[in-house]
Amino acid sequence: MADVVMPQMGESIVEGTLTKWLKKVGDQVERDEPLFEISTDKVDTEIPSPAAGTLSEILVQEGTVVAINTVVARIGDGAAAPAPAPAPVVETPAPAPAPAAAPAPAPAPVVEAAAAAAVEESAGPVSPLVRRMARENNVDLAQVSGTGAGGRITKQDIENYLAAKQAPPAAPVAAPAPVAAAAPAAAAAAPLPRVEPAKVRVEAMSIMRQKIAEHMVHSKHTSAHVTTVHRVDMTRVSKARAKAKEDFQQRYGFGLTFLPFITRATAEALRAFPIFNSSIEGTNVLYHNEVNIGIAVALDNGLIVPVIHQADEKNIVGLQRSIVDLAARARSKQLKPNEVQGGTFSITNFGSFGSLFATPVINQPQVAILGVGAIEKQPVVIDDAIAIRSMAHLALTFDHRLIDGALADQFCLKVKSILESWSDEIL
Amino acid sequence: MRKLEVRELGRLPYGEAWALQKELAEQRKQGLIPDQLLLVEHPHVLTMGRNAHEQNLLVGRSRLAELGIEYFEIDRGGDVTYHGPGQVVGYPILDLREWKRDVVAYLRALEEVILATLRRFGIEGHRDAGATGVWTPEGKICAMGVHISRWVTTHGFALNWTTDLSYFQHIVPCGLMRPVASMESLGVRVEREAVHRAIVEEFARVFEYEPAHAAAGA
């Protein structure tokens, strides 16, 4: 049994897209026979088989981005199959398979790699290629039976399905019509009619964007999202913040925002309602003993959720320090993998962009996320009198598979009561 | 010193040049011939790379036929591109095991060849991180796309010399909605032979060859 790995194609290359398998599972391959193709930037590369035998397993589907040294397939002992001819003579000495010599896959882009890994695990059961083929041909994937590993639908399955549907054999699409039979000179002479400038601009999504897209859709397919919104009086917190702000700047070198107060209240509520600090695995609920709160950070063209580990053990100073530090390093791409992993609950602060409330998407495999809306002074009726108070909307999206509305509202009321009865001493 | 054979093929239909590339690449893999540099000019043709997106082709196939533009789906990296009269197309068929086993370094070196060539004619080109090829302030002047099999390269670069740039309106070149330029559109009028000579010399310098000129079309 030989492993086929994604080879290192150059010093600066850490990954490539596996674009095409040139062999099917069960096919005989010779050593050095082209086995699959990868694509990096402007280069398409055929990768030869490292060994002779039977392609026994394809582990990476077409269209997948693969890090170098990843095992993409396995080649079994071909001995069982009767060799049709005497052992093939390999004329050129096999190019030493690069992978073995390849240096460890670069320590650098930690965050993206981590995010990628996280998504890989949770990715849906079909490859992007299959999804695209289904979309382009209007195929309902539910109608196609998968023959790949674990019942996965493969490219071949779609092709078979399409072939079965179309009684008359479809003509090969790509047949390049023998057009320019006319002498090139004549073609060049014909004046070219003006063509209108294009109406669209095409731009490829960054890897991070693609991961976010997959992650979001995966979450929407996984959880039963429900959002409940509570209005919270932040006046006491606002006063506490105003009072301590200067002091923070002088003593610690960073300001004081509302976010650590909300994080603190949330951590308390999570301890009171541990089900919000859980995840679903099959038919089990995993209750996490640590309260690790992810804080969504907007990047130029993306989003990342660094995690404050054991947030319930930190005071306002500690939380603010963590938030400032994680956000700064998220923007300069300096986060370590463990700092974007292990979150058990998330907070997203869209209020800082002026939003009143939104319906956030759950950060899988978590079961709830708290969205913080803009904090604004509002006229509020208190004991039949109108007062001016600092008000905010807190929106909690929860997974209705596990959590019912009544419990979600109790959780919100807990957060609300902590914030509304804030006392300066808790700083 | 490694040897480079240069073949100046004149105007050759795309299909014929592609067949020749494949044949030479096979011979190169078997070590029967040294590294090759083919220089050629194609009649109007659009080629779609492996990662090409159909939406970057802005006209239908039947319209292409009417316009006398050939169409090929091929095995190089990159998106759709146009070749035609007035373009200097280069197909290096190199065994990268004898140079550097590094596809990115190869692309950067090809860019260097074109940058140095343009500099000889007073054109300051530049690279654009994330968009392989050679750019000028007026637009993209040289497109690139490469195929590698057992470290032997095929396909290559297309430098706009006096190309009729209006033909690029049929496509989104390389999927990038950015303008194109040619040496001529930048005000540089030189003989094709001079461009060839510059490319061959810079190619030999960058890839460290002693070039041996083969007979045209040999």
Distances from the Cα of A330 to the Cα of A46, A122, A298, A349, A351, angstroms:
37, 23, 9, 15, 19
Tokens 């992650």 correspond to what residue?
A215
- Answer yes or no: is pLDDT of B83 > 70: yes
Determine contact, residues B13/B41, Cβ cutoff 8 Å: no
Identify all chain B residues contacting A32, using CB atoms and an 8 Å cutoff: 150
Count of CB atoms situated within 10 Å of the CB of A329: 16
* Domains in chain B: ranges and CATH: 2-210 (3.30.930.10)
**CATH code for residues A110-163:** 4.10.320.10
| Distance between A189 CA and the closest CA of chain B, angstroms | 10
- Reading the block at residue A209, the tokens are 């964007």
* Residue located via tokens 């003993």: A289
Q: Which residue in this structure is represented by tokens 């490694």?
A: B2
Taking alpha carbons only, the member of B179, B217, B182 closest to residue B84 is B182
- Rounded Cα distance between A235 and A419, Å, is 9
Strand ranges of the sheet holding B70-73, from the earlier edge strand across to the other edge: B70-73, B45-48, B80-83
Q: What are the chain A neighbours of B84 within 8 Å (beta carbons)?
A: 188
- Give residue A102's pLDDT: 40
E strand residue ranges, B76-138: 80-83, 87-93, 126-128, 131-136
State the pLDDT confidence band at B124, using cuts at 50, 70 and 90: very high
Distance, in Å, from the CA atom of B31 to the CA atom of B29, rounded to the nearest integer, reads 5
Angle between helices A316-331 and A235-252 (to 10 degrees): 70
In angstroms, the separation between the Cα of residue A32 and the nearest Cα of chain B is: 8
Does the domain spanning A2-108 belong to CATH 2.40.50.100? yes
Tell whether omega for the bond before A365 is within 30 degrees of 0, i.e. cis: yes
- Say whether A110-163 and A2-108 share the same fold: no
Q: Which of B70, B95, B134, B155 to mutate to test the interface with A (most CBs of A within 10 A)?
A: B70
- How far does A102 lie from chain B, in Å, by closest CA? 11
Q: What is the pLDDT of residue A115?
A: 36
Record: contact A190-B56, CB cut-off 8 A: no
| Helical residues (DSSP H) of A154-225, grouped into ranges | 155-165, 184-189, 207-222
* Partner-chain residue, chosen from B30, B56, B101, that has the shortest CB–CB distance to A98: B101
Q: Give the tens place of pLDDT for each residue, A258-269.
A: 999 999 999 999
- Name the residue with tokens 């998106």: B79
Is A230 one of the catalytic residues?
no
Q: Which two tokens stand for residue A248?
A: 């923070």
Residues of B with Cβ-Cβ distance to A188 under 8 angstroms: 43-44, 84-85
Name the 3-class secondary structure at B163: coil
Mutation pick from A42, A47, A179 vs chain B, by most beta carbons of B within 10 Å, is: A42
If pLDDT is split at 50, 70 and 90, which confidence band does A284 have? Answer: very high
Q: Active-site residue among A44, A77, A247, A404?
A: A404
Selected residue with higher pLDDT from B211 and B218? B211
Q: How confident is the model at residue A276 (pLDDT cuts 50, 70, 90)?
A: very high
Instruction: Identify the weakest region by mean pLDDT among A130-139, A401-410, B69-78.
Output: A130-139
Lowest mean pLDDT among A65-79, A228-242, A281-295, B85-99: A65-79
Instruction: Name the residue with higher pLDDT: B88 or A212.
Output: B88
Alpha-carbon torsion (A119, A123, A129, A132), positive or negative:
negative
Q: Are strands B209-213 and B2-11 parallel, antiparallel or unpaired?
A: parallel
Catalytic residue among A77, A400, A409, A424: A400
In the prediction, which pLDDT does A273 show?
96
Tell me the C-alpha distance between A347 and A368, whole Å: 9
Residue A319 pLDDT greater than 90, yes or no: yes
Cβ contact, residue pair A195, B68, below 8 Å: no
Of A19-33, A161-175, A316-330, give the lowest mean pLDDT range. A161-175
Confirm whether A404 is a catalytic residue: yes
For A285-353, the three-class secondary structure string (H helix, E strand, C coil) is EEECCCCCEEECEEECCEEECCEECCHHHCCHHHHHHHHHHHHHHHHCCCCCHHHHCCCCEEEECHHHH
The Cα A302–Cα A299 span in angstroms is: 5
Mutate to test the interface with B, among A8, A38, A44 (most CBs of B within 10 A): A44
Report the residue of chain A nearest B147, measured CA to CA.
A44
What CA–CA distance (Å, rounded) separates A95 from B97?
9
Q: How far is B86 from chain A (nearest CA, A)?
A: 11
- Is A184 in contact with B85 (Cβ distance < 8 A)? yes
Q: How many CB atoms neighbour CB B214 within 10 A?
A: 16
Report CB contact under 8 Å: B70, A43.
no
Q: What local confidence, expressed as pLDDT, does residue B177 receive?
A: 60
Q: How many angstroms separate the CA atoms of A191 and A214, rounded?
A: 47
The model's confidence at residue A172, banded by pLDDT at 50, 70 and 90, is very low
- B162 CB neighbours in chain A (<8 A) are none
Class of domain A225-426: alpha beta
What is the model's pLDDT at position A184? 42
Confidence grade of residue A336 (pLDDT, cut at 50, 70, 90): confident
Q: Could you tell me which chain A residue has the CA closest to the CA of B178?
A: A201
- CA-based nearest residue to B161, from B16, B39, B37, B25: B39
Q: What are phi and psi of B103, to 5 degrees?
A: -70, -30
Asked whether the predicted pLDDT for residue A388 surpasses 90, the reply is yes
Q: Is the pLDDT of residue A122 over 50?
A: no
Return the exposure string of B137-155: e unless at least 16 CB atoms fall within 10 Å of the residue's CB, then b.
Answer: eebbbbbbbbbbbbbbbbb
**Which residue of B lies nearest to A96 if distances are taken between CA atoms?**
B97
Residues making up chain B, counted from first to last: 218
Domains of chain A, by residue range, sit at: 2-108, 110-163, 225-426
Distance from CA of B79 to the nearest CA of A (A): 8
